[in-house]
Each structure stands twice: as structure tokens, then as C-alpha cells.
Amino acid sequence: MSSDSSRLLAIVCAAAVQACVAAATVGAGAAPLRVCSDPNNMPFSNAKRQGFENKIAELVAQDLGRPLAYFWSPQRRGFVRNTLAAERCDVMMGVAAGYQGLQATRPYYRSSYAFVSRRDRHLRVRSFDDERLQRLTIGIQITGDDYNNPPAAQALAARHLGANVRGYTVYGDYSKPDPQRDIVHAVADGRIDLAVVWGPLAGYYARREAPPIDVVPVADEARPGMAFAFDIAMGVRREDRMLREALDAIIVRRHAEIRRILTSYGVPLL
């Protein structure tokens, strides 16, 4: 073989190898990022991808260079077992940091429960020790977990205010959109005087009510188990270190954009 042809052959081979490697890389990168998500839980997510977790998922997928896919399931007891751990999806966009059963990334925001009331009531409640609570009806979210409930339930129980409590399930009427809206709506239309609602929900739905609604963060209490502020992170399978590290990097690098998305939804950030 002449030296020209052998050089040509070498170039062709190198190109072929390059092409194969590139294809492999692109191929691997093109595996969709599968998100475990609730199809009806605004403001977090819904099947129409209108929630802020949907927007953040899009940002993450775009940064990773992967198409976005969803596995939908109502987010209740057994959610992690039925979705993430069952390998039907790879990432949960929001989970309380410290939640067992998966591996959490670094938190990407911190928020707290908030007192929600109509501005024209001038209630301005800031603590559970406020003695006006004795005469108010107070709405609390119900999570449906064998006597486990958001911290407001415990705070009120400790003050013997059970009679003032009205419960609103976190899944509401699941056949309608915005199932968690009712607790804030009940404040707006006067069915209850006050509600203690998780920040993102409070901020989002308060904006959508006609009468102005105050959203005031609740401070942690000294009692054990009385944390009202929580760090929220993303969650992946325990063994999925690569994805967790990639997500950690994105959370740092794209911090400002993530924050913008959250504030656009009215999420009270701490």
C-alpha cells in the first residue's frame, strides 16, 4: 500500500472511531431524565407541566442535555417505594431534606409554614402563643399519615386548641385541579379566620384570591418536633451518586435562575 493510501486509511479509521465515541456519548446523554411527579398538585407540579417543580425540572434537564420525561403518581405514603425505588423514574424534584429512603441533594430552597389571613381582618398573628387564637377557627393541612401531621397540629394540640382546628387534606378533591387550594380559599371567603399553610402553597394561592391575603412565616418553636421551616432538596435513589452529584452542581451553578422561578410562584424564601 502506498503511504498516501495508508494515511488516508488512518484518517478514515480515526474519524470512524471519533464518530463512534461521539455517538456513544450523545446516545448516553440522550437518555431521558425521568421525573417522579404528582400529576395534580399545584403549585408544585401537574400533568400540564405548569408547576414550579416542572419548570425547575426543565431547567435541570436542559442543563444535563437530556430530554425530560415524567412518571406520574399521586404523592402519598409509599410514593418513593412505588416510583423512585421501583426505578420507574430517577429524580423527585422536591423532598424535605432529611427524608429517609432516598438520597437527597443539597437543598435548593428553604421555606416555612406561614400564618395566612385576610389583610382586612388585621390579625397579624405571628406566634401560636397569641391569645387571640383561642377565639379563631384555624385551618391546618392534613397529610394522612397515621396521626402524623404538619407541625401546626402539634402546636395547637399543645395549647389545647383542638376545638378550633379545621382540617384540609393535602390532596383535597383530587378530581379537580388545584386540590390544595381550599385551605387558602377558606380564609379568603371567611369560612375560617386563619390557616397555617406550607409556604409555597400559601404564597401561590394567596396571590390568586381576590381579597388581599397576608402570608407571615411561622417561627420554629423550642419544643422537639416543632420545626416549621424546612429545607427542600431533590431526591434520587440511594445508589445513584452520579446523578446526585450532577444535580448538586446544577443547584449551585443555576442558583439564581432557580430562585427566580420560585419567587415568580410566590414561594416565601428564607
Closer by beta carbon to another protein, 66 or else 243: 243
**Which 42-81 residues touch another protein, going by CB under 8 A?**
44, 73-79, 81
Q: Does 156 bind another protein (CB under 8 A)?
A: yes
**Which 211-230 residues touch another protein, going by CB under 8 A?**
223-227, 230
CB of 38 to another protein, least distance (A): 7
Distance (Å, rounded) from C-alpha 197 to C-alpha 216?
10
Binding track over 78-117 against another protein, x by CB under 8 A: xx-xx--xxx------xxxxxxxx----------------
Distance (Å, rounded) from C-alpha 182 to C-alpha 191?
10
Bridge partners of residue 139, in order along the sequence:
166, 195
Strand 194-198, strand 138-142: pairing: parallel
Q: Does 150 bind another protein (CB under 8 A)?
A: yes
Q: Please report, for residues 54, 55, 267, the alpha-carbon distance to residue 114 in angstroms, rounded to integers and kept in the order given.
A: 23, 24, 11
CB 233 within 8 A of CB 95: yes
Binder among 49, 59, 107, 143 for another protein (CB under 8 A): 143
Q: Does 263 bind another protein (CB under 8 A)?
A: no
Q: Does 170 bind another protein (CB under 8 A)?
A: yes
Q: Does 190 bind another protein (CB under 8 A)?
A: no
Q: Does 169 bind another protein (CB under 8 A)?
A: yes
Residues in CB range of 155: below 8 A, 6 or more apart:
128, 221, 223, 226
CB of 16 to another protein, least distance (A): 42
Binder among 6, 67, 120, 145 for another protein (CB under 8 A): 145
CB 91 within 8 A of CB 235: yes
Q: What are phi and psi of 70, to 5 degrees?
A: -125, 145
Number of residues near another protein (by CB under 8 A): 65
Closer by beta carbon to another protein, 66 or else 261: 261
C-alpha grid cell, residue 254: 443555576
Bridge partners of residue 96, in order along the sequence:
232
Residues in CB range of 88: below 8 A, 6 or more apart:
34, 36, 71, 82
Stretch that binds another protein, among 126-134, 175-183, 186-194, 206-214 (CB under 8 A): 175-183
Taking the mean position of all CA atoms in its chain, how far away is CA 211?
A: 26
Interface with another protein (CB under 8 A): 38, 41, 44, 73-79, 81-82, 85-87, 94-101, 141-151, 153-154, 156-158, 160, 162-167, 169-171, 173-176, 180, 198, 200-201, 223-227, 230, 232, 238
